[in-house]
Amino acid sequence: MSIGLAAAAALLFGIGTYLMMQRQLSRLIIGIGLIGNGANLVILQGIGRRGTPAFIGDGDTSTMSDPLPQALILTAIVISFGAIAFLLALAFRSWSLTGADEVEDDVEDRLVAKRGGTSEDVDDAGALDLSGPNEPRS
């Protein structure tokens, strides 16, 4: 069973990573959800063997299951649900304003990457100087 869980976690991580590299917000959100579920499967594999519930009886503690990974998975599910709901709200707001689901390029980031973004480009106030190389600095 652990081989199946490992394969499922690897599949979820792979598909989630592929979707996160796309430019559409909806695919990005689905990819984040898939990676979160893959992480939950990895934690589930870390539990080890099955055991008796920890809250029943006063039996041998070596046969009881550890409740901590189960609590971690439940907490991760709740947090990822909240994060995905927030991202869906942001994506809906972006879609209602622009009418597009695609993430646009940031022009300033492209300029900094093209020029190298050295420390000489930042003035004393911490602002980035985006003037061309032949233009005088103000």
Candidates 37, 39, 38, 32; CA nearest to 87 is: 32
Q: What is the pLDDT of residue 115?
A: 80
- Residue spans of the domains in the chain: they are 2-55+63-120
Tell me, yes or no, if the pTM score tops 0.85: no
* Long-range contacts of the stretch 74-81 (C-beta < 8 A, 24+): 76/36, 76/39, 76/40, 76/43, 77/40, 80/32, 80/33, 80/36, 80/37
Q: What is the pLDDT of residue 31?
A: 95
The residue with greater pLDDT, 123 or 9, is: 9
Q: What is the pLDDT of residue 57?
A: 64
Per-residue pLDDT of 4-59, as tens digits, reads 989 999 999 999 999 999 889 999 999 999 999 999 999 888 877 777 776 766 66
Rounded mean pLDDT of the chain? Answer: 81
Separation CA 101–CA 88 (nearest Å): 11
Is CATH 1.10.3720.10 what the domain over 2-55+63-120 is classified as, yes or no?
A: no
